[in-house]
């Protein structure tokens, strides 16, 4: 097996971009850099219908709430700046089952045997990622791999997990060690 080893100068660039993150280790997902959850029903990104180029108030309000939650979560995780490197995002959108559904339909939906296709998942993803733009990551062009699922849950909202792309687990661990040294002033 062959790995691309990044030059030290590239690792320093990545380390300066990450700044003091603490990885969440998970056996099935490897190392994750940051997890954001928001327990408010996801609002699909609405487009103006009257021919003007403005974002509707409902969408602006939702994006502002997510942006504030992301900012608080980044601060609590000890992250002082948005990520500036390619990212993989695993996004789980959780929706409540329609009230008209029977208990058996709701149970089947929670077991992922039937799905709610009430709203356009692409527009829900767009609202969440637009809100994270500039807070969690510098630009949405950094999102090079996105996996999204739409599930039925008693707690509507979303969970987004942001991971670096292009680094092996060992390289990520080395990068995090460099970050810690940078934060402690041991590296220039």
Of 3.30.1330.70, 1.10.1040.10, 3.50.50.60, 1.10.3720.10, the CATH number of 8-183 is: 3.30.1330.70
- pLDDT score of 98 more than 60: yes
Q: Which residues of 146-168 are buried (b: 16+ CB within 10 A; e: fewer)?
A: eebebebbeebbbbbbbbbeebe
pTM above 0.75, yes or no: no
Kindly list the domain boundaries of the chain, sorted by start residue: 8-183
d(CA 125, CA 163): 17
The CA distances from residue 52 to 31, 43, 45, 48, 62, in Å, are 43, 20, 15, 6, 20
pLDDT band (50, 70, 90) for residue 20: very low
CB-based contact 17:81 (threshold 8 Å): yes
- pLDDT score of 29 more than 90: no
pLDDT band (50, 70, 90) for residue 59: confident
Judged by average pLDDT, the poorest of 62-66, 161-165, 174-178 is 174-178
At residue 69, the 3 state secondary structure works out as: helix
């Amino acid at each position: 097996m062959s790995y691309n080893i990044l030059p030290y100068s590239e690792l320093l660039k990545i380390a300066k971009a990450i700044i003091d993150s603490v990885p969440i280790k998970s056996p099935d997902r490897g190392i994750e850099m940051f997890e954001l959850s928001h327990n408010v029903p996801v609002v699909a990104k609405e487009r103006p219908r009257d021919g003007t180029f403005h974002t509707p108030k409902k969408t602006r309000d939702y994006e502002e709430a997510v942006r504030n939650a992301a900012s608080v979560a980044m601060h609590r995780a000890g992250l002082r700046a948005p990520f500036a490197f390619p990212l993989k995002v695993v996004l789980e959108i959780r929706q409540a089952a329609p009230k008209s559904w029977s208990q058996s339909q709701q149970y089947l939906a929670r077991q992922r045997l039937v799905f709610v296709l009430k709203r356009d998942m692409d527009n829900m993803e767009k609202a969440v990622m637009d809100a994270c733009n500039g807070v969690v990551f510098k630009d949405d062009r950094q999102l090079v791999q996105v996996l999204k699922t739409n599930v039925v849950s008693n707690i509507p909202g979303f969970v987004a997990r942001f991971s670096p792309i292009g680094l092996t687990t060992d390289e990520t661990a080395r990068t995090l060690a460099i970050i810690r040294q940078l934060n402690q002033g041991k590296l220039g």
